[in-house]
């Protein structure tokens, strides 16, 4: 009961805050939501891997970066639009994910958790520096007209394209929830995530499931990479901030709570854009994530200690 | 003289009562058996006393001092030592270095003194090849090393959590004699968790029986093993 | 390797390191300085790792030290010598304070928080324009240590390295070794041996952070300037980590070997491939973790150690 009341209070407070924000600084809310969509869409696949394979993939953002490069050069070669490239990129990155899993992560699953952390850290460096090696630190961008579409409401004007990220985040969150709760494969994956030994006893191939989940996550990241390319310039380091941000969102939502990532990302996206809206605080927007990640982790560890 | 006692010691995990209002005491020189079916809360009980987990309610008193919420390392320093059911030798340390740890931190000895003391302990327990890596030790040697590590704390109360498990009958016999001698010479109060009732019968002066976290009987092994509640608990839970 | 041989080897190595400026040219001296800087950081990273805690925040404390040193000179007129010491004290102090919060965290949570803290330090320095000079950084106009003489600066870095080696040896030969090893193996049984885990973690964290700060101070004093991008560069986390892993962790010699080897290779690669030579570091980390968790030391020392960590 107390928990329910607390949730109700938090919900009421946040609705009040949002309403106040709409009236006072509508663009903060609009851009905040757009940013939230992007963050959540990237974080959800990482949450899937963390929830089931129990690996913090520090190369997560780099995987998106690789996908964006693949999409860019695919589009250039074939004259495609990045939107058309979404599916092919997803397939390619899924295969890539499967291979990476089999070659590296699978071998480290039985090692101490810290080895896995260092391993994916190494992968992150290898990926971003390989791109740096091949394409240098030059930036690439797709010239696309539809991304600058804007909308006017009253006397404010804002870009609307980025709402596509919000849509994708919602599709990812609810699509995955459906997959994990309603399909056989999904249920098996959840079973493996909760109790690998038990799952193995009832005949589920644990490593195959891990590999599939990792590949699925990379497929989503790949799709996001192509979509990211529509909006943003790409360079070797473009993915790395997303790793930390994704981890932060997952830690806030709680590992295994995929829809919770949506809520957490709204909080962060709006907070960042709120700071960005004022000149004196503009430069501090970047710090929000890092402060929150520490606060969230410390709070969770204190809570864990009590129970 | 009473070394250790608990009053109404209780531990709840998310609604599950693992240890329920257990009151008991241990005297100097006494070897006490702690028995009960699997999942009865024996290890949890020792974890509470050694401070690895904190109780939900109740009192733990050691030599007249309330230690209910004292940190584990502080209890170790004051003289409560234990071994673990799941053995964990310290990798990257040799046999002798493993034994030195308790001496260094629980007693605050310097490295040289700790080494001398550890050598004496190993000698007493019949451990040789002291500079071997722990990965090269036999099960029997590891068990003895675990006991030596606990004794390096120079404890007054010692808990042994299934130290006989995995040993053959000769080794078990050796270890029983060893524990009895150690307890006698050092005036220790020793608490022993064992599944093999033969060991309990030979080794202990007195037993307490836990079932579903509750203390259901205590007394001499011969009496307790005839107690209908105990028999029932064991028949319900498995083998005696 | 037996003990006498390794002592002679260490002695020769030491003599070579000290006398290098007398016969090496500017370029080799510069390379040696870089390698020694990373070597010292690798040693400090390893020192904390011996307790089982992986820090991704080396660059953060290095940067803190760097700015503490340069700002104390530029803003407070502190003598160059003293500013280096101040850098160590300041970084150690910061570690002491944050240690109370974050040393209760374990495994990935500790690692991620150290990474985030490094970023927070960088952003703070970046944004406090008036005090820190912002993104353009700060330059020491006059009063650089040794007047910027190459040989003396080389010895200064060597002294920083000597501090790291001495501290690491102290960690290895004293009871700290027993405490950290016991904590890394199993915290529960460590407590039962009377080890106050938090106290020893705090000691290790403060000492390693202070040395990282000291090295940051030496770094800015030898270049005479600091910018957030230069002193908080991820390289200061990445390179030491790769070096220690390659050479073999939980020792002083491992990171030294790793740093010499990887330092020379990367110097060569830097000339061959200006962009992306760091890919080698990434690959080395991956390969070492997967195939030779003991690092190169494994090849030299034939003591069989079990895989570290988790009980079965």
Cβ–Cβ contact C106 with B under 8 A: no
Residue B211, SS3 per DSSP: strand
Q: Which of residues 197-236 of C touch B (CB under 8 A)?
A: 197
- 3 state DSSP class of B22: strand
Chain B residues whose beta carbon lies within 8 Å of the beta carbon of residue C304: 133, 135
User: Rg of chain B's alpha carbons, rounded to an integer?
Assistant: 18
Stretch A121-141: mean pLDDT: 91
What is the 3 state secondary structure string of chain A? CHHHHHHHHHHHHHHHHHHHHHHHCHHHHHHHHHHHHHHHHHHHHHHHHHHHCCCCCCCHHHHHHHHHHHHHHHHHHHCCCHHHHHHHHHHHHHHHHHHHHHHHHHHHCCCCHHHHHHHHHHHHHHHHHHHHHHHCCCCECCCCCHHHCEEEECCEEEECCCHHHHHHHHHHHHHHHHHHHHCHHHHHHHHHHHCHHHHHHCCCCHHHHHHHHHHHHHHHHHHHHHHHHHHCCECCCCCHHHHHHHHHHHHHHCCCCHHHHHHHHHHHHHHHHHHHCCCCCHHHCCHHHHHHHHHHHHHHHHHHHHC
H/E element, B71: none
- Per-residue pLDDT at C190 exceeds 50: yes
Q: What is the mean pLDDT of residues B69-80?
A: 95
Instruction: Please report residues of A whose CB lies closer than 8 A to that of C111.
Output: 114, 117
What's the ipTM?
0.91
pLDDT at B111 over 80: yes
Chain B residues touching C175 at Cβ < 8 A: 104-105, 110-111
Q: What is the mean pLDDT of residues A185-204?
A: 88
pLDDT in tens, B147-201: 999 999 999 999 999 999 888 989 999 999 999 999 999 999 999 998 888 899 9
Provide mean pLDDT across the span C215-223. 92
Residue A10 lies in a domain: no
Task: Name the least confident of A6-15, A166-175, B220-229, C287-296.
Answer: A6-15
What CA–CA distance (Å, rounded) separates C171 from A258? 44
Taking CA–CA distances from C101, the nearest residue in chain A reads: A298
Beta bridge partners of B60: B6
pTM of the model: 0.89
The CATH class for the domain spanning B2-88+158-237 reads alpha beta
Burial grade of B11 (CB within 10 A; 0-12, 13-18, 19 or more): buried
Residue contact C123–A113, C-beta within 8 A: no
Task: Indicate if the pLDDT at residue B87 is higher than 90.
Answer: no
CATH number at residue A82: 1.10.3470
**C213-239 average pLDDT score:** 91
Chains in contact with B, where contact requires at least 3 CB pairs less than 8 Å apart: C
C122 pLDDT more than 70: yes
Number of domains in chain A: 1
| Residues A139, A229 contacting (CB under 8 angstroms) | no
Residue C307 pLDDT level (bands cut at 50, 70, 90):
very low
Task: Give the residue extent of every domain in chain B.
Answer: 2-88+158-237
B150 min Cα distance to partner chain C (Å): 7
- Please, which pLDDT band fits residue C227 given cuts at 50, 70 and 90? very high
> How near does any CA of chain A get to the CA of C3, in Å?
31
Q: What is the pLDDT, as a whole number, of residue A3?
A: 65
How does pLDDT run across A32-63, given as a tens digit for each residue?
Answer: 899 999 999 999 999 999 999 988 899 999 99
CB contacts of C298 in chain B (<8 Å) are none
* pLDDT tens track for B160-171: 999 998 889 899
- Asked, for residue A2, whether it belongs to a domain, the answer is no
- Domain annotation covers residue A13: no
Give me the mean pLDDT over the A213-220 stretch: 95
C213/B86: higher pLDDT: C213
Closest approach of C47 to chain A, Cα-based (Å) = 15
Neighbours of A91 (CB within 10 A): 14
Please give the pLDDT value at position B157. Answer: 95
Residue A244 scores a pLDDT above 80: yes
Question: What is the three-state SS of chain C?
Answer: CCHHHHHHHHHHHHHHHHHHHHHCCHHHHHHHHHHHHHHHHHHHHHHHHCCCCCCCCHHHHHHHHHHHHHHHHHCCCCCHHHHHHHHHHHHHHHHHHHHHHHCCCCHHHHHHHHHHHHHHHHHHHHHCHHHHCHHHCEECCCCCHHHHCHHHHHHHHHHHHHHHHHHHHHHHHCHHHHHHHHHHHCHHHHHHCCCCHHHHHHHHHHHHHHHHHHHHHHHHHHHCEECHHHHCCCHHHHHHHHHHHHHCCCCCHHHHHHHHHHHHHHHHHHHHCCCCCCHHHHHHHHHHHHHCCCCCHHHHCCCCCCCCCCCC
Rounded mean pLDDT, A8-22: 77
Tell whether C104 lies on the interface with B, counting CB pairs under 8 A: no
Inter-chain CB proximity C175 and B105 less than 8 Å: yes
**Residue in B29, B8, B9, B2 with CA at minimum distance from that of residue B158:** B29
Mean pLDDT of B25-46: 91
Q: How many degrees, rounded to 5, is the angle at CA A101 between CA A257 and CA A211?
A: 60
Identify the pLDDT of residue C308: 38
State yes or no: pLDDT of B238 exceeds 60: no
* Residue A1 pLDDT level (bands cut at 50, 70, 90): low
Among chain C residues, the shortest Cα distance to B76 is held by C194
Average pLDDT over residues A158-173: 88
CA-nearest of C224, C247, C243, C216 to C118 is: C216
Domain that holds residue A66: 26-306
Burial profile A131-144: b = 16 or more Cβ within 10 angstroms, e = fewer? bbbebeeeeeebee
Query: Residue A224, exposed/middle/buried by CB under 10 A (0-12, 13-18, 19+)?
Result: buried
Q: pLDDT band for position C181 (50/70/90)?
A: very high
Scanning every residue of chain C, which has its alpha carbon at the shortest distance from the alpha carbon of B151? C193
């Amino acid at each position: 009961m107390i928990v329910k009341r607390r949730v109700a209070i938090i919900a009421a407070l946040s609705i009040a805050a949002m309403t106040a924000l709409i009236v006072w600084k509508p663009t903060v809310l609009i851009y905040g939501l757009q940013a939230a969509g992007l963050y959540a869409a990237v974080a959800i696949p990482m949450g899937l891997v963390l929830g089931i394979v129990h690996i913090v993939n520090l190369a997560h953002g780099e995987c998106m970066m690789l996908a964006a490069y693949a999409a860019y050069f695919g589009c250039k070669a074939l004259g495609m639009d990045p939107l058309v490239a979404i599916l092919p990129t997803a397939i390619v990155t899924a295969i890539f994910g499967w291979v990476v899993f089999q070659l590296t992560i699978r071998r480290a699953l039985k090692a101490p958790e810290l080895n896995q952390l260092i391993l994916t850290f190494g992968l992150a460096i290898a990926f971003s520096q390989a791109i740096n090696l091949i394409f240098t630190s030059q930036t690439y961008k797709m010239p696309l007209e539809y991304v600058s579409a804007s909308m006017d409401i009253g006397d404010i004007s804002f870009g609307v394209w980025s709402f596509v990220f919000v849509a994708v985040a919602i599709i990812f969150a609810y699509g995955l929830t459906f997959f994990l709760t309603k399909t056989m494969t999904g249920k098996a994956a959840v079973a493996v995530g909760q109790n690998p030994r038990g799952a193995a006893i009832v005949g589920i191939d644990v490593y195959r499931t891990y590999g599939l989940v990792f590949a699925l996550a990379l497929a989503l990241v790949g799709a996001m990479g192509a979509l990211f390319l529509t909006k943003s310039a790409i360079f070797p380091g473009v993915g790395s901030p997303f790793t930390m941000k994704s981890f932060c969102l997952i830690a806030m939502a709680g590992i295994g709570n995929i829809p919770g990532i949506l809520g957490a990302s709204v909080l962060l996206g709006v907070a960042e854009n709120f700071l960005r809206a004022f000149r004196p605080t503009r430069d501090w927007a970047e710090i929000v994530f890092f402060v929150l990640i520490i606060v969230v982790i410390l709070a969770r560890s204190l809570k864990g200690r009590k129970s | 003289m009473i070394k250790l006692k608990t009053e109404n010691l209780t531990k709840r995990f998310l609604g599950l009562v693992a240890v329920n209002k257990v009151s008991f005491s241990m005297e100097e020189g006494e070897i006490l058996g702690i028995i009960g079916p699997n999942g009865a809360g024996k290890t949890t009980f020792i974890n509470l006393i050694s401070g690895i987990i904190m109780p939900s309610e109740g009192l733990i008193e050691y030599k007249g001092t309330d230690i209910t919420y004292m940190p584990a390392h502080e209890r170790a320093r004051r003289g409560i030592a234990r071994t673990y059911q799941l053995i964990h030798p310290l990798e990257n340390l040799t046999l002798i270095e493993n034994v030195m740890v308790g001496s260094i931190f629980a007693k605050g000895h310097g490295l040289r003194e700790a080494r001398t003391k550890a050598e004496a302990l190993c000698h007493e327990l019949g451990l040789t090849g002291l500079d071997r890596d722990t990965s090269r030790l036999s099960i029997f040697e590891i068990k003895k090393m675990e006991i030596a590590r606990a004794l390096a704390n120079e404890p007054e109360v010692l808990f042994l959590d299934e130290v006989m498990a995995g040993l053959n009958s000769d080794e078990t016999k050796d270890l029983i004699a060893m524990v009895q001698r150690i307890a006698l010479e050092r005036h220790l109060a020793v608490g022993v968790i064992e599944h093999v009732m033969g060991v309990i019968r030979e080794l202990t002066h007195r037993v307490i029986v836990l079932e579903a976290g509750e203390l259901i009987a205590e007394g001499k092994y011969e009496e307790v093993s005839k107690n209908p509640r105990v028999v029932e608990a064991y028949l319900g839970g498995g083998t005696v | 390797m037996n003990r006498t041989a390794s002592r002679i080897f260490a002695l020769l190595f030491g003599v070579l390191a000290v006398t290098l400026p007398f016969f090496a040219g500017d370029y080799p001296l510069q390379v040696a300085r870089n390698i020694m800087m990373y070597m010292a950081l690798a040693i400090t990273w390893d020192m904390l790792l011996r307790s089982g805690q992986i820090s991704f925040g080396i660059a953060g404390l290095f940067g803190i030290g760097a700015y503490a040193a340069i700002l104390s000179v530029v803003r407070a007129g502190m003598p160059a010598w003293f500013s280096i010491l101040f850098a160590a004290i300041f970084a150690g102090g910061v570690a002491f304070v944050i240690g109370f919060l974050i040393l209760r965290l374990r495994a990935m949570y500790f690692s991620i928080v150290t990474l985030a803290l490094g970023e927070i330090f960088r952003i703070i320095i970046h944004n406090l324009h008036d005090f820190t000079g912002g993104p353009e950084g700060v330059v020491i106009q006059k009063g650089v240590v040794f007047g910027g003489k190459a040989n003396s600066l080389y010895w200064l870095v060597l002294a920083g390295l000597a501090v790291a080696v001495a501290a690491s040896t102290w960690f290895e030969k004293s009871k700290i070794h027993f405490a950290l090893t016991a904590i890394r193996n199993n915290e529960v049984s460590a407590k039962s041996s009377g080890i106050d885990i938090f106290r020893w973690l705090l000691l290790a964290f403060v000492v390693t952070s202070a040395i990282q700060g000291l090295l940051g101070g030496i770094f800015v004093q030898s270049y005479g300037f600091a910018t957030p991008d230069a002193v908080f560069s991820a390289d200061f986390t990445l390179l030491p980590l790769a070096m220690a892993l390659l050479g073999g962790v939980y020792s002083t010699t491992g990171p030294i070997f790793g740093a010499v080897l990887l330092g020379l290779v990367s110097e060569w690669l830097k000339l061959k491939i200006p962009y992306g030579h760091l890919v080698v570091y990434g690959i080395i980390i991956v390969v070492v973790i997967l195939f030779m968790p003991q690092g190169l030391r494994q090849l030299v020392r034939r003591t069989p150690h079990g895989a570290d960590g988790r009980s079965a």
